[in-house]
């Protein structure tokens, strides 16, 4: 295994890549080797929440379920924030119960996510996926114990270079999410930005993965 892709919606079946494939309770594929499962705020269905949470809890008990998520808060959709918060907090409670990390979707709600972590005294690792914000927001999240995962915005927004450089090497991951580019493309750019050899970057991300996902 050469590369770790912390969050993707596309299973490549490439033996050189450890992929955490995002799955949904109502659209689940048993054959995927490693996955996360969660209720995305976009897809909250009030008629299905309890059933979805039961499915999530059953899957969290499988060894190849590596995380809950993506789950979180999104202020740019029409779903009521109180409903989003309820579903998010229910999933974090399951993550705590089963000691699985959480992969977080957060849009314009970073203060609320930080507040939720503090208020609920969440101890499991929380990873903000697809990070694209400034150094101030990155520092706030890092200071509150979050990990940051970088993907398409790192490839497409040169201004993110300085933000990425500011993140300690033991606090980030890389992901492809829904983009067509290969995870190797992200590793190449990340190694350049961090002034690391690809092999050193691979070793660092493997260590980060072990810390977050194999701590038990």
Binding site listing for a divalent metal cation:
70, 105, 129, 177
Query: Hey, what's the torsion of the CAs at 87, 90, 92, 95, to 10 degrees?
Result: -130
DSSP state of 10: S
Provide the token pair at 194.
């961090």
Triad 162, 178, 133: Cα angle to 5° = 25
**Neighbour-count burial of 158, counting CB atoms closer than 10 A to its CB (0-12 exposed, 13-18 middle, 19+ buried):** exposed
Helix, strand, or coil (residue 192): helix
Q: What is the full DSSP assignment across 135-191?
A: HHHHHHHHHTT-EEEE-HHHHH-TTHHHHHHHS-GGGEEE--BT-SS-HHHHHHHHH
Triad 161, 20, 74: Cα angle to 5° = 65
Task: Give the strand pairing for 102-107 and 17-23.
Answer: unpaired
Residue numbers belonging to the annotated binding site: 70, 105, 129, 177
């Amino acid at each position: 295994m050469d590369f770790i892709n912390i969050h993707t919606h596309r299973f490549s079946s490439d033996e050189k890549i450890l992929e955490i494939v995002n799955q949904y309770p109502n659209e689940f594929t048993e054959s995927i080797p490693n996955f996360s499962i969660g209720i995305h705020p976009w897809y909250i269905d009030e008629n299905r929440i309890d059933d979805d949470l039961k499915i999530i809890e059953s899957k969290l008990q499988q060894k190849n379920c590596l995380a809950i998520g993506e789950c979180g808060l999104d202020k740019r959709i029409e779903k009521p924030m109180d409903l989003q918060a309820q579903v998010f907090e229910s999933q974090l409670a399951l993550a705590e119960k089963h000691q699985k990390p959480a992969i977080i979707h957060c849009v314009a709600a970073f203060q609320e996510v930080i507040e939720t972590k503090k208020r609920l005294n969440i101890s499991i690792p929380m990873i903000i996926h697809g990070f694209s914000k400034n150094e101030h927001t990155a520092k706030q999240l890092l200071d509150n114990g979050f990990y940051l995962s970088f993907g398409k915005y790192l490839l497409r927004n040169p201004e993110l270079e300085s933000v990425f450089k500011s993140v300690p090497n033991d606090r980030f991951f890389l992901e492809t999410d829904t983009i067509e580019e290969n995870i190797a493309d992200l590793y190449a750019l990340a190694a350049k930005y961090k002034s690391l050899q690809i092999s050193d970057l691979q070793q660092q991300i493997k260590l980060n993965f072990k810390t977050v996902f194999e701590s038990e």
